[in-house]
Amino acid sequence: MVVRGNETWERVSQRMSRPMIKDTCYEFSLHMCRSEFYLSPVSGGNLKDSANFNTPAKLRIYGGFGNCDKQYLLAETKEIISHRWLEYKFKFEPIANYTHITLEAYYRTPVLFPYNGNILLDNLSEIKPIPCDKPVDDTPVAESAPPAARPAVPAPRPST
């Protein structure tokens, strides 16, 4: 997902299979990184006017009642600076019975000047209820690639 220098940004929304319940705690994890090269058109969609969207952006997670509804900010990361996949864990407690979740790329705050940036997401977990007193270590965990995306390493060929 990208943020753009023209003050626009991307988000994705999903209806959950069952609502989050008010005053219940949940855990959620995903893998994120930032692409070093993310070329995209910047003026009128013309490919010759491309820019590298490589500035760090952050992720915001919202609960709501419809697609792209941002009723309540459940969690927010710092800027994603790593070019390596890292696992991020979240714990949140909704204040209503939200039926939808929205994941949004956003600028560093406060936003002094909008910029072109990106975050990449993969390997999203289920949103699971947990005891509210359970600690969740939200320190990013290093991974070389998300588990589902790890390529097979070919066996070395014998020399002849």
pLDDT tens across 72-119, in order?
999 999 999 999 999 999 999 999 999 999 999 999 988 889 999 999
Three-class DSSP category at 147: helix
From the list 30, 31, 48, the residue with the least C-alpha distance to 39 is 48
Q: For residue range 47-78, what is the model confidence (pLDDT) as tens digits?
A: 678 889 999 999 999 999 999 889 999 999 99
Lookup: tokens for 67: 């697609």
* Cβ-Cβ contacts under 8 Å for 130 (sequence gap 6 or more): 25, 26, 27, 91, 136
- Confidence check: pLDDT of 153 > 90: no
Q: What's the whole-model pTM score?
A: 0.82
Higher pLDDT, 59 or 153: 59
Report residue 157 CA to chain centroid gap.
39
Angle CA 121–125–131, to nearest 5:
130
Q: For residue range 21-56, what is the model confidence (pLDDT) as tens digits?
A: 999 999 999 999 999 999 888 766 666 788 899 999
Cβ(2)–Cβ(56) under 8 Å?
no
